[in-house]
A and B are shown apart, each in its own frame.
Chain A
Amino acid sequence: MAKITYQHPNGTITVVDVQAPNTVMRGAKLNNVDGIEAQCGGSAQCGTCHVYIDEASTVPLPPMDEVEDDVLYGTACPRRENSRLSCQLPVTDDLDGLLVHLPEAQS
């Protein structure tokens, strides 16, 4: 289990406990954290689960594969160096304390 913090563009935060085998995307959906749409249900097709990893984060994340990298070209808000697809981030104990920033829009 990991505590994941989702920060909205207006600064409000939601902290939730997410269990494996959920992803950071699903953690948001299960808790109705607004700002993650995830239209393709996590199959790396839609880019509507875009998050920015907090720049100060030291939480170890799995590397990005080619498909995720490609899908990130189509996000509604600009892609930045810390952009990830939250559906490609499986929750493990290692992710405890992760802070992700939600973009202004997903679609």
Chain B
Amino acid sequence: MASRSVAVIGAGQGGLDTAAALRAKGYDGRITLVGEEPALPYQRPPLSKGFLTGAIGHADLTLRTESFFEAQDIELVTGDRACHIDLFGSRIELASGGRLDYDRLVLATGSRPRPLPVPGADLNGVLTLRTLADAEALRALLDGPPRQVAIVGAGFVGLELASTARSLGHEVTVVEAQARVLARALTPQLSRWLADRHRQQGVRLLTNSEVAALYGSASGQVEVLQLRDGTRLPADLVVIGIGVLPRTELAADAGLLVGDGVIVDPRLRTTDRSVYAIGDCARFPDSGPGRHIRLESVQNASGQARCVAAAICGDDAPYTAVPWFWSEQCALRLQMAGLTADHDETVTVGDPDEGRFSVLCYREGTLVGVESVGRPADHGIARRLLATGAWPTADEARAPGFNLKSFALKPPSQRLPARA
């Protein structure tokens, strides 16, 4: 049965891509996209990169213009929040009082910054970075005389921001609770290498350091960040970047299954067959057996959006795309393909000293992911090889002179040794 209306909650990357893909695939029912932010849907990646330096302006952030929504007959509701889902009535309620009926509902509510549970986190000058409004506030503060900037959390957003703030001439300290930067996302090799780059740029990196409290002036402006070991760091701008929490409250309130994300099946359906969840807010089964994962990337939001749009149009295939991610910091291109978290073996190809290398990550002999610095060809090839399974073994990769470019160009019959 063809559905007559689709409602999408969340007008970010995933929500917008769902609506656009539905129309591109010929869906001719009603499409409503509800977003609580005031602006047209925009891309977040530049918010910690070029937007803060002014290299990227508002027009480049915007994913589509106003006329796009008219031309595609997509009803875009901005500045309004869905506050209740009635699964039995197939209807959502908006904070403005409006109601919206749907045949299919897509949850693309994204995530919010994880709050830092210490005294003083509500002082003036303590910011997070998720939305355009956050980035505008930060840009205003960074666009001036040098400040003492403290960044809590050495994740992607924290480190990109550190690099950007440093390039703008600010004094930057990054405080990280783990023993190394990007501990969850990167291999120890790349993590160490990247930390060195940040230090060379003049970023002060404090690992194994936890924030105990923030202290401010009489007027409530942050002035000092105190660590658990008692160290006090002067700071007039503190940015909290300790990860995100999926926005699951609407789903939970409606009675859908949630648990660090809205739980979905391989076709991205929630426990209600008419409701899908995608992007940062969704926890889905990895094609590896039995494991549910949640990913925070444009590729994931965008790929899942297209998968759900196809499903609504009748093409019911599971979501199986190879995850990938990119980051820009210290004037480097950092790209990751696959999921490297539980690797047990690595092979590095290329030259770390030159800033051009890739780390191939294996688990029990299977290539699970590749991290690349300054080697965009490796990254693209790795994505293809991970998708087809035609990757080099660790022994092949260790052979002198090995590189992914020539491996990928070689016909499979000439590749050695043949794998079982």
| Given A29-B64, A34-B24, A46-B326, A71-B377 contact (CB < 8 Å) | yes
| Given A32-B24, A107-B321, A39-B302 contact (CB < 8 Å) | yes
Q: Is A9 an interface residue (CB 8 A)?
A: no
Select B380's contact among A29, A39, A43, A70, beta carbons within 8 Å.
A70
Q: List residues of chain A with CB within 8 A of the CB of B379.
A: 74
Main secondary structure of the interface of B (DSSP, over half): helix
B68 touches A30 (CB 8 A): yes
Shortest Cβ gap from B22 to chain A (Å):
10
A31 to B326, CA, bound (A): 26
Q: List residues of chain B with CB within 8 A of the CB of A75.
A: 380
Q: Is A56 an interface residue (CB 8 A)?
A: no
B20 touches A40 (CB 8 A): no
Select B63's contact among A29, A45, A71, A74, beta carbons within 8 Å.
A29
Q: List residues of chain A with CB within 8 A of the CB of B65.
A: 30
Of residues 44 through 75 on chain A, the ones whose CB sits less than 8 Å from some CB of chain B are: 44-47, 67, 69-75
Q: List residues of chain B with CB within 8 A of the CB of A31.
A: 68, 71
Identity of the chain A residue whose Cβ is nearest the Cβ of B334 in the assembled complex: A45
A24 to B77, CA, bound (A): 28
Identity of the chain A residue whose Cβ is nearest the Cβ of B68 in the assembled complex: A30
| Contact digits for B6-47, partner A, Cβ 8 Å, 1 yes 0 no | 000000000000001101110000000000000000010110
Q: List residues of chain B with CB within 8 A of the CB of A44.
A: 376
A13 to B358, CA, bound (A): 40
Identity of the chain A residue whose Cβ is nearest the Cβ of B59 in the assembled complex: A21
Select A32's contact among B23, B45, B60, beta carbons within 8 Å.
B23
Q: Is B299 an interface residue (CB 8 A)?
A: yes
Shortest Cβ gap from B66 to chain A (Å):
11
A74 touches B380 (CB 8 A): yes
| Contact digits for B300-328, partner A, Cβ 8 Å, 1 yes 0 no | 00110010000000000000010010101
Q: Can you identify 5 A-B contacts, CB atoms within 8 angstroms?
A: A29-B63, A30-B64, A30-B68, A40-B298, A41-B63
14 additional contacts (CB under 8 A) given A40-B326, A45-B326: A29-B64, A30-B64, A31-B71, A32-B71, A41-B43, A41-B45, A41-B298, A43-B326, A45-B333, A46-B326, A67-B376, A73-B377, A73-B405, A74-B381
**A residues engaging B (CB < 8 A)?**
29-32, 34, 37, 39-47, 67, 69-76, 107
**B residues engaging A (CB < 8 A)?**
20-21, 23-25, 43, 45-46, 60, 63-65, 67-68, 71-72, 298-299, 302-303, 306, 321, 324, 326, 328, 333, 335, 375-377, 379-384, 405, 408
Q: Which 5 pairs from chain A and chain B are nearest by CB? A: A74-B380, A34-B24, A70-B377, A70-B376, A73-B377
